Amino acid sequence: MIWNPGAEQASLKDMRYHQSESLKRIVELVYNRVPFYNNKINKANIKPEDIETIEDIQKIPFTTKIELRDTYPYGLVAANMEEIIELHASSGTTGTPIVDAYTEKDIDIWSDSMARTLSMAGATRKDVIQNAFGYGLFTGGFGVHYGARRIGAHIVPISAGNTQRQISVMRDFGATILTCTPSYSLYLAETAKEMGIDFSKLKLKAGCFGAEPWSNDMRAEIEEKLNITAHDIYGLTEIIGPGVAAECEAKNGLHINEDYFFPEIINPDTGEVLPEGEKGELVFTTLTRTGTPLLRYRTRDITYLFREKCSCGRTNIKMHRLYGRNDDMMIIRGVNVFPSQIEEVLIQIEGTEPHYQIILSRGENHLDEIDIEVEVMESFFSDETRKMEDLRKKISDAVKSRLGINARIKLVEPKGIVRSEGKAKRVVDKRKI
Ligand code: DLL
């Protein structure tokens, strides 16, 4: 079901009109109310009146994560503090948290965009949504919660963790839709198996997974192990949390809620705006937020945009599922590699589990070295040295031929890699220590 046909099936002309009007309002708002943006706009030698249509967005300078940190905690709030009704934050992998302050209107936008997201996975009032995203400052739990409330579905606000209990609740409450990180869904599958619970006997039919990179192959694995259809959902704290973009049943790219969040793709080195179809860094402008509106925020996420006639009937622009992040990108002896590319190689090798960790270090010769710890499937694990050595070599050859890097592969016994309840930590970079 299409939750908000007016927004999700708008003609391009209507969408552009709405975006232009919203942009004018939001630029005026931040110019008048946020000193940080007032300075930025003045420095760029433009005035709010210079912004007449959405195309004029290119006149506005970018906002970066560093600037968000510099204004921590409330420097970007555009509303009166009394109008702020909720705060969320991401710890960020690199330190100072990023704060998102929501007004009543922002929570309304969030509820609507998450209702759209869950509807894309088939959610209706009749569904029981087991929400295993963490509740708290992290946006995953509350985002799904507000969307499910808007739809009127039954919400099971179980949050992340307590994995055995998740399985019994799923069975006893008859959960039909699961929301969590993709890595946690596989942990749930593993735990259910240990408990002797078969997913084909449960009512679960769909899942919305996101908050961390995952591959199409991993999707296939999740769909098979949990006996569901798995949808990719995307968002980030700075912009609103989850609800920025999501996959419909076509599962060919994520529809962006472009009436709320205007996307652009830029060349990360030059800042040049790239045309649809070209891969680069994703940039968002929040067109309607009033708590912490952001202009041209550089996400560091890498993807491309495309507009196509989608079989689901939605017209809004799509983004390809994420390739990774700029700052996730590992440069190993000059070769650029994203963890997701390593995952794609591993997952295709028989005998391995989609649990792995990448360890980067610097050798005696000061060159980068990469170790990949890969977990071996229980049914494949063996004391036979030869069999394990063959597997190790197979992985190392595949990584070399597909990605052009020499990695040291270490096989780890079943369950040897630490499971995560939220975002999985795939890369340990010892080079900075
Ligand atoms: O992870 C919001 C969220 C919650 C999204 C629940 C989806 C589901 P942050 O903690 O601020 O917010 O992290 C945002 O996570 O810039 C991406 O790099 C990454 N990310 C989010 N969704 C996906 C996804 C939430 N579907 C950062 N695929 C983003 C790949 C994702 N990476």
**Per-residue pLDDT tens for 176-197?**
999 999 989 999 999 999 999 9
How far is the centre of ligand 1, averaged over its atoms, from the C-alpha of 121 (Å)?
A: 18
The pLDDT > 90 percentage for the chain reads 85
How far is the centre of ligand 1, averaged over its atoms, from the C-alpha of 46 (Å)?
A: 33
Cβ neighbours of residue 249 under 8 Å, at least 6 residues apart? 120, 122, 229, 311, 312
- CB-ligand 1 contact for 208 (6 Å cutoff): no
- CB-ligand 1 contact for 134 (6 Å cutoff): no
- CB-ligand 1 contact for 340 (6 Å cutoff): no
CA distances to 330, 335, 366 from 363, in Å? 16, 17, 5
- CB-ligand 1 contact for 210 (6 Å cutoff): yes
**Of 69, 234, 247, best ligand 1 pocket probe by most atoms within 8 Å of the beta carbon:** 234
Nearest CA to ligand 1 atom 16: 236
What pLDDT, on the 0 to 100 scale, is given for residue 95? 59
What is the distance between the alpha carbons of residues 167 and 184, in angstroms, rounded to a whole number?
12
Q: What is the dihedral of CA 212, 213, 216, 217, to 10 degrees?
A: -90
- CB-ligand 1 contact for 212 (6 Å cutoff): yes
pLDDT of 208 strictly over 60 = yes
Longest CA–CA span in the chain (Å) reads: 73
How far is the centre of ligand 1, averaged over its atoms, from the C-alpha of 45 (Å)?
A: 34
Atom of ligand 1 nearest to the CA of 213: 30
- Kindly indicate the confidence band of residue 362, based on its pLDDT and cuts at 50, 70 and 90: confident
Q: Which of 76-90, 268-282, 284-298, 325-339 has the lowest mean pLDDT?
A: 325-339
DSSP 274: P
**What are the tens digits of pLDDT across the range 348-359?**
999 998 899 999
Residue 168, number of CB atoms within 10 A of its CB: 13
pTM for this entry: 0.91
Nearest CA to ligand 1 atom 30: 213
What pLDDT, on the 0 to 100 scale, is given for residue 92? 56
How far is the centre of ligand 1, averaged over its atoms, from the C-alpha of 151 (Å)?
A: 22
- CB-ligand 1 contact for 213 (6 Å cutoff): yes
- CB-ligand 1 contact for 284 (6 Å cutoff): no
- Kindly indicate the confidence band of residue 431, based on its pLDDT and cuts at 50, 70 and 90: confident
Residue-by-residue DSSP string for 13-68: HHHHHHHHHHHHHHHHHHHHH-HHHHHHHHHTT--GGG--SGGGGGGSPPB-HHHH
Mean pLDDT across 401-420: 93
How far is the centre of ligand 1, averaged over its atoms, from the C-alpha of 211 (Å)?
A: 3
- Kindly indicate the confidence band of residue 15, based on its pLDDT and cuts at 50, 70 and 90: very high
pLDDT of 373 strictly over 50 = yes
**What are the tens digits of pLDDT across the range 231-284?**
999 999 999 999 999 999 999 999 999 999 999 999 999 999 999 999 999 999
Q: Mean pLDDT in the chain?
A: 94
Nearest CA to ligand 1 atom 14: 236
The letter for the amino acid at 157 is P
**What are the tens digits of pLDDT across the range 35-89?**
999 999 999 999 999 999 999 999 999 999 889 989 999 999 999 999 999 999 9
- CB-ligand 1 contact for 90 (6 Å cutoff): yes
What is the distance between the alpha carbons of residues 141 and 157, in angstroms, rounded to a whole number?
8
Mean pLDDT across 308-321: 97
The pLDDT > 70 percentage for the chain reads 98
How far is the centre of ligand 1, averaged over its atoms, from the C-alpha of 301 (Å)?
A: 9
- CB-ligand 1 contact for 237 (6 Å cutoff): yes
Six token digits for residue 187: 């942990």
Six token digits for residue 127: 């569904």
Enclosing H/E stretch for 81: none
**What are the tens digits of pLDDT across the range 98-125?**
899 999 999 999 999 999 999 999 999 9
Cβ neighbours of residue 158 under 8 Å, at least 6 residues apart? 130, 131, 132, 165, 166, 169
